[in-house]
Structure 1
Amino acid sequence: MIHAVLYDLDGVIVDSRTTVVEALREVAGIALGARPPHEQVFPLASLPPVQALTDLGVADASRVFDAHFDAAYAAHAGKSQLVAGVTAAMWRIRMAGRRQGIVTLQRRHRLNLLPLGPVHDLVDTIVCFEDAAPKPAPDPLWLALDRLDIVPEQACFIGDTVSDIQAGTAAGVRTYGAAWGYQDAAELAGAGADGLLTRPADIVNLALAGPPVTVGYDSNATRMTARSGDSP
């Protein structure tokens, strides 16, 4: 039985990709003299920002990030929004008595820039970048479980990037890919996710029902297909 559900934040709970892309474009533009095009930055949004800036050709990306990223992120944070259906799913899980936590690479001081609204009332803990060695290390998941007094075998983790899947697997929790997030189903499956979820409502089935929702990826048809016996 699952007693706790852990979530990544960006891409799983809040759709912040436009915010990240525009912040990266602005910061890279300061360093390079011209903003890189949207189509160049979009595929890099799932990376840590310093790595993304490096890939965009920014020299001394760590220094540039420290100097400019917070202001750029704040300027574009209003473009973020909660993923449709996620708070309804979290409410159902909360009302069923399960514990919930967020494990994110986001820095804590940026949380109040995002439109999290009721999410704060639905989770018991939030582990941020500063709290433990960041994903893909398992440490932040272990910290969240310790705060919740839950052992790994009684928890699941919902993530949307390869580093999420790697962290959850290393932490010993059942780890599922959110196919609505930053990276596509093929990448999450290839990273070793225990299953793939196509919509937030699938988290309820996973946490409260019998067999977990598992979705197969048909690489030939380039689409998600539910395997026999899975929840609709």
Structure 2
Amino acid sequence: MLDSAAAVRSTLAAVATCALGRRVTPDDLPPAALRRPRCEVLALLDIADPDDACDRWWDGAASAIPVELFPGILCGLLALRAQGTAVGVVTVQDPDRLRSLLPPALSEMLDVVVTRQDAPPKPAPDGLHLALNRLNVPPGRVVFVGDSLTDMTAARAAGIVALGAVWGWHPPAALRAAGADHLLPEPASIGPSLLHHLPLIDSA
């Protein structure tokens, strides 16, 4: 939902700057930085204790960088809600960070929110199971949209249709290899048409 690539790169650079005591820019990050765990990226920049660096500086750096929704996402979710479809989020973000990221118009329409404080993070399916329990719906009546390999793995493990968003950080082939049932080509794919994928798993 969120166009966070530039923000994550800037946050990585800011954390590296604090840890190394010299200016690091997004251009200094290693190749494919967005597809690697953040601590791995920081280690490649010769930061001795990436976990400690993230604990110290990540949240502060990230909160100072604005993030916007991809165009069309909000309209698509509103259309889903208008036809009675529940909408939720399962995220690795903590509640405070998530509140700062999501615009009020989006936050108000979410029927369920599961953060890293509620359940083990993806690729574990626990967060998805918790969301299903809170909504009181079976896995076969749900689709999960994600742009990461862990999103696809978690959805498949939970028995949920996994829809890969190819406008995110990972190429289509990688999303397929991680378990995506279908690929969504653009943010405008978000909407009632997502539910067309449900019979595919119901009839399996």
TM-score (norm 1): 0.78
Q: Which amino acid aligns with 1:97?
A: G
SS of the equivalent of 1:59 reads coil
SS of the equivalent of 2:113 reads strand
SS of the equivalent of 2:123 reads coil
Q: Which amino acid aligns with 1:14?
A: L
Q: Distance in 2 between matches of 1:209 and 1:193?
A: 15
- Per-residue CA deviations over 1:139-173 (Å, capped at 9, x if unaligned) read 01101111110111111100001111111111110
SS of the equivalent of 1:21 reads helix
SS of the equivalent of 1:175 reads strand
Partner of residue 70, structure 1: 59
Partner of residue 9, structure 1: none
What is the CA RMSD across the aligned residues, in angstroms? 2.1
Q: Distance in 1 between matches of 2:148 and 2:81?
A: 25
Contact 2:161-2:197 within 8 A present in 1 as well: no
Q: Distance in 2 between matches of 1:146 and 1:211?
A: 19
Find the partner of 1:158 among 129, 141, 145: 145
Partner of residue 12, structure 2: 24
1:88 matches 2:79:
no
Partner of residue 181, structure 1: 168
Partner of residue 121, structure 2: 134
Partner of residue 43, structure 2: 54
Q: Distance in 2 between matches of 1:212 and 1:14?
A: 28
Q: Which amino acid aligns with 1:73?
A: A
Partner of residue 149, structure 1: 136
Q: Which amino acid aligns with 1:69?
A: W
Higher percent of residues as helix: 2
SS of the equivalent of 2:168 reads coil
> What is the CA distance between 1:122 and its match in structure 2?
1.9
Q: Distance in 1 between matches of 2:31 and 2:176?
A: 21
| Higher RCO (CA < 8 A, seq sep 6+) | 1
39-48 or 158-167, larger mean C-alpha shift: 39-48
Percentage of pairs with the same residue:
36
TM-score (norm 2): 0.88
Partner of residue 109, structure 2: 122
Contact 1:102-1:127 within 8 A present in 2 as well: yes
Contact 1:89-1:201 within 8 A present in 2 as well: yes
Q: Distance in 2 between matches of 1:131 and 1:206?
A: 30
Contact 2:88-2:112 within 8 A present in 1 as well: yes
Aligned length: 199
- Per-residue CA deviations over 1:123-147 (Å, capped at 9, x if unaligned) read 1011111111110000011011111
Partner of residue 167, structure 1: 154
Contact 1:157-1:173 within 8 A present in 2 as well: yes
Higher percent of residues as strand: 1
Find the partner of 1:198 among 173, 185, 191: 185
SS of the equivalent of 1:130 reads coil
> What is the CA distance between 1:42 and its match in structure 2?
6.6
Q: Which amino acid aligns with 1:107?
A: D
